[in-house]
Each structure stands twice: as structure tokens, then as C-alpha cells.
Amino acid sequence: MKSLRRIAIVLVVLASTARVLPALAASEGPTQPLATVQQAAAGLPSLLAQLPDASYAEKRSLIKQLLELHDARVPRVLGALLDGGMYVRLEDHQVFIVAGEGSVVELTDPLTGAHVGSAAADDLGKVGVNNQIRKELRIRLAQFALSDPDEGIRLNAVREMLRAVDPDSIAVLRERLAVEPSAAVKRDIRAGLALADLDSDDVKVRLAAVHTLGESLNVDVYNRLSTMVQSAADGGGESDAQVRAAAQTALRGIDGKRKFYSLIQTLLYGLSQGSVLVLAAIGLAITFGVMGVINMAHGELMMIGSYTTYVVQLLMPQHIGASILVAIPAAFLVSGVVGIAIERGIVRHLYGRPLETLLATFGVSLILQQAVRDIFSANNRPVETPAWLAGSLQLNEVLAITYNRLYIIGFTLGVFLLLLLILKRTRLGLEVRAVSQNRPMAKAMGIRTERVDALTFGLGSGIAGIAGVALSQLTNVGPNLGQSYIVDSFMVVVFGGVGNVWGTEIGGNALGMVNKLLEPYSGAVLAKIFVLVFLILFIQRRPRGLFPQKGRAADG
Amino acid sequence: MADAAALRAEAFTGRLWPALQADRGGRVFLSVLAAVTVLVPLLNLIPAAGSALHLSSYTVTLLGKYMTYAMLAMAVDLVWGYCGILSLGHGAFFALGGYAIGMYLMRQIGARGVYGNPNLPDFMVFLNWNELPWFWHGFEYFSVAALMVLLVPGLLALLFGFLAFRSRVSGVYLSIITQALTYALMLAFFRNDMGFGGNNGFTDFKDLLGFSLQSPGTRMALFLVTALALGGTYILCRFIIASRAGRVIQAVRDAENRARFLGYRVESYKLWIFVLSALLAGIAGALYVPQIGIINPSEFSPANSIEIVIWVAIGGRGTLYGAVVGAFLVNYAKTYFTAAWPSMWLYALGALFVSVTLLLPNGVIGLVKARFGRPR
């Protein structure tokens, strides 16, 4: 969404400069073949040139003509005029927008918005306006913003007007309400009108206004209603008891809604934290869950993924935005290859001895940690966040979610679905499942179990690497990154049910949500301890996890 | 009653002697331990400092520390080597024992702390607490602290083991939840609000039972007590292993379901050996803290507990004395490496983990036995 809008803005700017440049070139030449074609655009410069010498009455008519051009550059010009930032250069009668104070000021071309140098303040004359024009300009500018095709700009305009409601803006808002297509903008306009109605002398009007305001989540509205329910003696309080009671009810309603939205926010945060857990655990669900191999170096494979992201960013410092997209396959490959090396070198010799595997891979994790310390230093490495991952999505006035949280939820889901696809729909997946169910039988059927083992381990490790890319955007990238996730990852896999990728997905998200729901009451650390204790107790009740694999073996 | 006790005592010695006679490695271990126990104080106290034969107090403390580690390793070997329960959380019992004695030592500081508060340890004054939390009461008495050294790890192991073994959580699942247990405890002890000194734990101890911890005499006494405890632990474990119950425990390790189908209550045997092991770990922790002079939450870290397991694996699991050998070897190597090449230590430890599991499934003791042992 955001990047789209940014592109749109860039396009608009490009288009407007493309339109202006030929016009400027044409005005320099002796012949003007393009003049008639460019008349609409050329109207703006000519109208602008007339502004400095016009009388106040003429200025009003010029402003009217400017507005009729429906040019995207008009608000800038009029805004400058309103703020008293429009000046004319005395020697050549060129109009500029001026910024800065003092004897030397910076000049901006009102047509292109480009910086065009500086000038001595004494060489410039101010283009003056009177109060009547100022008032008109304010309304016209608001109107202009209100008729913008972009809903976001309209919303901002309405909110801007809500800050200080006066009769003029009320008139503009009423006008707009009739033609406004967007429900969100309409809602805000109604809130604005109702705010103004609160000053009415008519009790009925005030009562109706309070009822309307009960629908709004705006902070200004909330503050206004709060002052209304104070006793009249404190000043600002509502004199009529009935209206005050209505305001009380409205406030209670708003509080309820706010609680509801903050619950949704908590749940979304929980979902995103759960997604991090799932991402960390899902590779383990393959190596531990499907193959039955305890890989204590799993966390370090994630760490390798994070460091791969860092290295990719070092290699392409000009394209941080794209670096993440490059890092995902790169991390998959690097971690996958390291994983296959671990499998071929160590784990292969220890199948059927899970406790020994655990110890040997823990040794590998120590070696990898120290290797990273020696190669990259023991300090955390800075991994940049691309612009398209920053910022947040404002759903309404009380509910905002940062983009990286949304991305992590979507990304985890994508990785999960991809993994499911590989396991259920590819030949490798079929072979993996066959080997995990009955190794000797799979071998007898001609499956090369050694190769399948190596590839499965590589797949699980590669996914750990991808998780590392995501983690590099969320936490510090340092040698201890893996260690802090290893216990959690194992708990998620065991909780969800070993050998079950679905269980990991659901289990991880559930744990993340429980954690976030507890946090407001107990603090982050205690919430985590509660979750761990809960898990320990849960495994006693259901040793095979949420979704156990069905089987007939007595020993498992 | 007295007769019964005498009978039981006779049964104990009656079974222990044959057990020790069949146990060549154990005899070697106990002889070496006895020699060390006699020689170390002599070499420390009699030759003048600077003489080639003199053993510095630093070395004595180091040996004492290794001995507490050896006790801890033996506790892990008891459950892992003989009962097949791989606990990745034994560091927690060790640390709990250490914290219990640490609380006593903190109370002994009294008004000698930085803030000079006669009732509150320094960290509580620092946190602006006004009175002692309820669970600190009684820790001014050594007897209470000593009881807690046993009770806290023992009860935790009893509760945890009861739940885990009853629902037949075994193998790697048990390992993972023991790891989660110590991880949760670590997080909890890191919190300042818990009342255990948070991040910094306890340190700056002054005296134990009225004797200054700095004096060479106290240090020597602690060393001797630790050596006796190590020897006692070995004899106790050997006796248990040689007993009837010990054989059932080994049967559980080798074929849990078969033992169950033969009518043994597998869960009870596992629970009891687990609790016993936790008690031993707690005692080891209580001996460790006064000698080292500090206890903090990092003792609970899961990596620490895994390291204990590798001591046992390197020495050779299922031999008891192997655990001692492993604890001494690895910790000596750690002391040496972290002083000589700090960055090499993790490589060395990692390589040890890998090579021992791949190449030496029976550890150093297995290697020695294959060389010098009588053919079976």
C-alpha cells in the first residue's frame, strides 16, 4: 500500500515536471508553437505572474481562477500565499516561495517545488493578503484537500479541521458530506459537525451531537466528552443533566470499543510473536519432528541465516530494499549446506541414538558460535531494515500495527504453506514421509534413505536459515541469537506434536498469543516463565503434544 | 527396633564390601581420593610458600571446585548412566543448593555490607525494600539453610519427576522439559523482584559458622569436607547400584517396558533415583558456593547443564568414577584454555562433544578398560 502510494507520488511529480519543462522552453523561444496546446498548464504561470501587482479584489478573482484550473500545484501556491511565504523578486518580477528568515533567504519555484537558489531579503517584495482573503484561502484549501481523490488525504484534511472547528469549516464540511463517497471520511465529517454542535444553545442539538460522537474514536472527541461530564463548576462541564448522562453513556461506549480494539491489537501482536516462534520451530519440526533427530545446532543455523543477511547487505549497500529478497534464498542455501554437512559428518553416524545426537550437535553449536565470534567479532552486527518494512498501518485511531509484524505473519504463513506443499505434493516429501514412518520398508522399496536423510536435514536447516533472515529484522544479530530461541523452538515442536507441521504452526501461534495476553498482567519475563511452566505441565498431561502422530509402537 | 537397625546396618556393609571388591576402578578412585585428601593439606600447610612442593591456596580452592563438579557429575551419571534418564536440567538442582547456602551466607554478612544494614542484604537495600521477604526468614540459622539445601532441590525433583514419570515422559522429551525447567528458573532468578539478587546473585560473603571464608584454615576445612562428601557420594551410589533396587534401575534403563511387564513399578524406581540424584546435586552446589564465593542465575543456564552431561560422557557413563574423571579432565582443560587461549575453548569443548559421542561411546574409562581391563 505504502510503496504504491510513494510510486504514485513520484509519477505525479514526474508528470508535472514533464508538463512544465516544454512550457518554460517555449516561453524562451521566439516562436511559441506549443503555447496553445499547453494553455491549461500555462494558465498557472500567467495567473501567478499577475498576483503581485493585483489589488485585493483582483487577487480574489485570481484565486478563484487558480482554483478552477484543478491543478495539483495550486494548493502549494495558495498555501504559500496564506502563510505569507510568497514573494516577488523586484528586478525581474518572478514569483517565489521563500523559506527561512534573515538577510538571505532560500527561494523555491512555486511551479516545480524545486529549490532555485537564494536571494537577499531586501531584493524581494512580499505578496500581501488581507484577512478576508486569508479566510477564504483557508476554506478553499480545505475544500481542495477534501476533494482530493486520495481517501487518506481527505481523512487528514477532515482531522486537521477537527482540531479547531469554526463556522467556515463547518460550512465546508457540510457541503462535502453530501457528496463524499467514503464511509470513513463521512464518519469523521459527522464527528466534526457534532463537535461544533456541542456549542449550540439548543439542548436537543447538543444531545444529538453527543449521540453522534459516541460513534467516534477520535482523541479530541474523547477529551471533549470527558470535559463535558465534569461538573459544571469546573468550567467546560455540561449544564444540562440529560446531555451529561448521554455523554457519560457515550464515553462508556467508546471505552468499550477501545478495549475491544486493544484486544485485537494484542491478539495481532500475539499472532506475530507466535509467527516468530513458528518460524524458529518449523525447521525443527522437519529435523526433529519428521526425522527424529535432535539438532541442538538449529539455533545456530538460524544465526547463520541472520549473518547471511548481514553479508548480503554488505555486498549490496546501494540496494538495501532488495537485499532482503536476495538474502532469503542465500540464507536457505548457506544454512542448508551447513546442515547437510552436519548430517553427513555427524548425525548420520548416530541414527537411533537420540541422546548422543543431542550432545554431538550441541558441540557443533558451540563451534559455530565461536566461529561467528572469530569471523565477525563478538558484538552484535547492524542489519538495516529496508524502507518498505518500516512504518505502520493505521487501521483506525486506536489500532495501529507495524508493517514488520504484518509481514512476519504473512511470511511465516508462506513458509509454512511452502513446506506443506513440499511434504505433501513432491516426490521428496513422499520419500521423507515414507522414511520417517518405516525406514527398513522404505529402503526395501528402493528409496535411497541416505540421500533422503541428507536432503531432509538440508531442508530443515535451510528453513532455519530463512527464519534467521526474518529474525535479523526483529532482534539483535549476534553470536547468541540462536541460543535464545532453541529452548522455545523445542517446546513449540513438542507442544504441537512431534512429526506434525500443522501442530507446530498452531502450537506456536497459540503460545505466542497466550504470552502476549499474559504480558499486560505479569510483565514479559514472568509471562514467558508461566508459558514454560504451562508447557512442562502440558507435556505431562499429553506427552505426545496437541496433535499426536498415530502409531502402534509401545516404545516411541 | 534397635535390632532391626543393626540388621540393616549389617546388610549395608555386608553388601557394600563385595560390591567394592568387584569394583577395581572404584578402589583405585577411593585410594586416589584418600591420598589427595591427606596430601593436599600437608603440601599446602607444611612447605614454605615458594618451595617446589608447596600447593597454593588457589590450587586447593580449584581442586575443591573440581570435586564439587565431580559430585554433580556423579549425580548425573547415577540417573543417566544407570537409569537412562538424560537430565539436561541438573544444573538447576546444583544452583538451588548453592542459592540455599548463599542465603545463609548473605545473612551472616549482617551489618558489614556496603550499606551497613543489619537486617537486609545489600541488594534489598539497593532495591529500597524495607523488610525481609518471608522466604528469607530462618536462613540466619545454618541448620535451616542446610535443611533447605536438601529440601528445595529434593522437593522440586519429587514434584517434577512425579508428574513426568507418571505420564511416562521419557527419552528426549524428558530431556527437553528438564531443559525448559532450568531455563524457566534462570529467567525467574534473573528478575530482581524474586528477592534473590537478580542479575548479580549473591557474593561478598564473609563467614561460615563464624569462621572467616578468607582464612586458609576455613578453606582447607571446606576442601576436606568436600573430599569426604565426594567419597561418601561414591560409596552411597555404588551401594545403591549393587543393591537389588539398583539392578531394577539398570533393567529400566535397558528395557523399560519389559521391566514394567515383569511387575516392577518403573515410575517409583525412576522417581526415587531422580530425587536422590537431585539431592546429591544440591549438596554439591552447597559445597561449591562457599569455596567460589559467588552464585548467580547463569548457573541455571541450559548450556551449563548440557556441559555437565559431557563431563560424564567423556569420563564414561555408567561407571561413577568415570564421571569424576570426566569432570576433572574437562574442567582442568577449561581452566587451562580460558587462561591460555580464551577463544579456543569453545572450539575445544565443541570438538570434545562431537568426538566423544562419535569415537568414544564409553569415554576415557572405556578406552582404559579396553587396554588394561580383564577380558570378559
Give B284→chain A minimum CA distance, Å. Answer: 23
The confidence score (pLDDT) of residue A30 equals 42
The confidence score (pLDDT) of residue A176 equals 76
End-of-domain residue from the set A146, A180, A200 = A146
Same-domain check for residues A124 and A163? no
Give the one of B160, B183, B343 whose C-beta lies nearest to A370's C-beta. B343
Best CA proximity match to B199, nearest among B188, B184, B209, B210: B188
Provide the number of CB pairs (under 8 Å) joining chain A to chain B.
121
Q: Check B167 against A541: CB less than 8 A apart.
A: yes
Give B147→chain A minimum CA distance, Å. Answer: 26
Q: Check A487 against B179: CB less than 8 A apart.
A: yes
Give B376→chain A minimum CA distance, Å. Answer: 25
The confidence score (pLDDT) of residue A162 equals 67
Question: What are the distances in angstroms from CA A519 to CA A256, A471, B198?
Answer: 21, 21, 20
Q: Are B63 and B37 in contact (CB under 8 A)?
A: no
Classify residue A103: in a domain, yes or no.
yes
User: One digit per residue, pLDDT tens: chain A, 556 residues?
Assistant: 445 555 545 444 444 444 444 444 444 434 444 433 344 455 777 777 777 777 888 888 888 777 777 777 777 777 777 777 788 887 777 788 887 677 777 788 877 777 777 777 777 877 777 877 877 777 777 777 777 777 777 777 777 676 666 677 777 777 777 777 777 777 777 777 777 777 777 777 777 777 777 777 777 777 777 777 775 555 556 667 777 778 888 888 888 888 888 888 888 888 888 898 898 888 888 888 777 788 889 999 999 999 999 999 999 888 888 888 899 999 999 999 999 999 999 988 888 787 788 889 989 999 999 999 999 888 888 888 887 877 777 777 677 788 888 888 899 999 999 988 988 899 988 898 888 878 888 889 999 988 998 998 999 999 999 999 988 888 888 888 888 888 888 888 888 877 778 888 898 988 888 888 888 888 888 888 888 888 888 887 777 777 776 654 434 4
Same-domain check for residues A139 and A178? no
Classify residue A32: in a domain, yes or no.
no
Classify residue A26: in a domain, yes or no.
no
Q: Are A460 and A286 in contact (CB under 8 A)?
A: yes
Same-domain check for residues A273 and A348? yes
Classify residue A15: in a domain, yes or no.
no
Rounded CA separation A515/A507 (Å): 12
With vertex at residue A488, the alpha carbon angle to CA A486 and CA A494, rounded to the nearest 5 degrees, is 105
Same-domain check for residues A365 and A431? yes
Same-domain check for residues A184 and A103? no
With vertex at residue A246, the alpha carbon angle to CA A245 and CA A249, rounded to the nearest 5 degrees, is 90
> What contacts 24+ positions apart, CB below 8 Å, involve A7-13?
A12/A72, A13/A113
**Eight-state DSSP code of residue B263:** T
The confidence score (pLDDT) of residue A32 equals 40
pLDDT for B14 beyond 70:
no
Secondary element (H or E) of residue B193: none
Q: Check A540 against B163: CB less than 8 A apart.
A: yes
Q: Which residue has the higher pLDDT, A77 or B162?
A: B162
The confidence score (pLDDT) of residue B11 equals 62
Question: For residue A401, what are the β-bridge partners?
Answer: A393
Domain of A85?
37-146
Rounded CA separation B180/A494 (Å): 12
B162 touches chain A (CB under 8 A): no
- For chain B positions 173-212, those within 8 Å of chain A (CB to CB) are 173, 175-177, 179-181, 183-184, 187-188, 190-191
Same-domain check for residues A500 and A525? yes
Question: Mutate which of A277, A370, A488 to test chain B, going by most B C-beta atoms within 10 A?
Answer: A370
Classify residue A530: in a domain, yes or no.
yes
Same-domain check for residues A320 and A227? no
Same-domain check for residues A221 and A364? no
Same-domain check for residues A154 and A135? no
Classify residue A296: in a domain, yes or no.
yes
Best CA proximity match to A368, nearest among A471, A283, A247, A468: A468
End-of-domain residue from the set A146, A166, A188 = A146
The structure's pTM equals 0.76
The confidence score (pLDDT) of residue B101 equals 92
- Exposure pattern of A229-244 as b/e (b: 16+ CB <10 Å)? beeeeeeeebeeeebb
Q: Check A525 against B167: CB less than 8 A apart.
A: no
Q: Are A23 and A41 in contact (CB under 8 A)?
A: yes
- For chain A positions 320-349, those within 8 Å of chain B (CB to CB) are 346, 349
Q: Are B64 and B284 in contact (CB under 8 A)?
A: no
Which CATH number covers residue A521?
1.10.3470
Q: Check B303 against A296: CB less than 8 A apart.
A: no
Q: How many domains does chain A have?
A: 3
What are B279-301's pLDDT values in tens digits?
A: 999 999 999 999 988 999 999 99
- For chain B positions 273-332, those within 8 Å of chain A (CB to CB) are 302-303, 306, 309-310, 313
Same-domain check for residues A354 and A488? yes
| Close Cβ partners of A209 (under 8 Å, ≥ 6 residues apart) | A193, A194, A195, A197, A198, A200
End-of-domain residue from the set A239, A274, A297 = A239
- Going from N- to C-terminal start, the domains of chain B cover 25-372
Same-domain check for residues A154 and A130? no
* Residues of chain B contacting A371 with CB distance shorter than 8 Å: 347
Same-domain check for residues A340 and A481? yes
